[in-house]
Amino acid sequence: MNHPDSGASHRPASAGLDRYRHACVLYRSEDEEYRVLRSFIGEGFPRGDKAFHIIDGTHRAAHRQRLREMGIDVAATEQSGQLEVRGWEDAHLRPGWFDQHAMLTLVGEVLTDAKRRGFPFTRWVANMGWALGGHRGAEDLVEYCSRLNELVPRHEATIVCTYDLGRFSASSVVDVLRSHPVAVIGGMVYENPFYLPPDELLRELGQRRVGPASGPATPAAV
């Protein structure tokens, strides 16, 4: 992953999230979420980048309207395949629950196919609100995000995961930060000091599941 110079530990999100491979956006309102993502999404279309968006499926119309307000020709880019918008039910929750390994396979397939079709780069945005629905497998969210740090650098892509600070618990946000090397907070991009490389975090998560000798540990609630 390419990082800014050590003397610039944070910068506005408009400075270019695409220079990183995996980031989280922590937002407090939908308006803030789209304001932070505006440059990342909008700058990719004239460059010919693939836009892959995963959202709450009930918000498709509103999401497309937000894109139109960014000056994006939604109909034309969807028809050409440059823009692809999926609901959670067609991505993270395809089996009816969250299977992290199936989702990692999907990530690899989408990024490989985008390159095969001639898109130089993929700008992937995923709203992670699906993890709040009580679905089986949601406890694997952090492990999945950690594994993305091994997968995404093999491709020409940036994956940005967005989290509503008003809905995710404080303990969940801490784990989210530990699984994303870059965080956007208050519209500023930070090289995340809480980040742990996959080998370290996955080992810790495994130990957390096993727990002390007295019995298994209970995963942190999302």
- Domain-located, residue 215: no
Tell me the CATH number at 195. Answer: 3.40.50.300
> What distance in Å separates the CA atoms of residue 167 and residue 69, rounded to the nearest whole number?
26
Check residue 12 and give its pLDDT: 65
pLDDT for position 28: 96
Please give the backbone phi and psi of residue 52, each rounded to the nearest 5 degrees, phi first: -120, 115
**Domain coverage including residue 37:** 13-210
Q: pLDDT value at position 214?
A: 43
> Is 217 part of any domain?
no
Tell me the pLDDT band of 212, cut-offs 50, 70 and 90: low
In a domain, 219, yes or no: no
Longest dimension (CA), the chain: 59
Task: Tell me what the mean pLDDT of segment 33-61 comes to.
Answer: 97
Q: Are 220 and 172 in contact (CB under 8 A)?
A: yes
Say if 220 falls within a structural domain.
no
* Total domains present in the chain: 1
Identify whether 128 is part of a domain: yes
Rounded Cα distance, 221 and 156, in Å: 33
Full-model pTM:
0.88
Mean pLDDT of 107-135: 97
Sheet of 10-12: strand order equals 10-12, 188-191, 182-185, 22-27, 157-164, 122-127, 50-55, 83-87
Report d(CA 168, CA 171) in Å as an integer.
Answer: 8
What is the DSSP code (8-state) at residue 138? G
Query: Per the domain annotation, does 177 fall within a domain?
Result: yes
In-domain check, residue 222: no
Classify strands 122-127 and 50-55 as parallel, antiparallel or unpaired: parallel
Give CA–CA dist 105/210, Å, rounded: 26
Give the per-residue pLDDT at 220.
Answer: 46
- Answer yes or no: is 218 within a domain: no
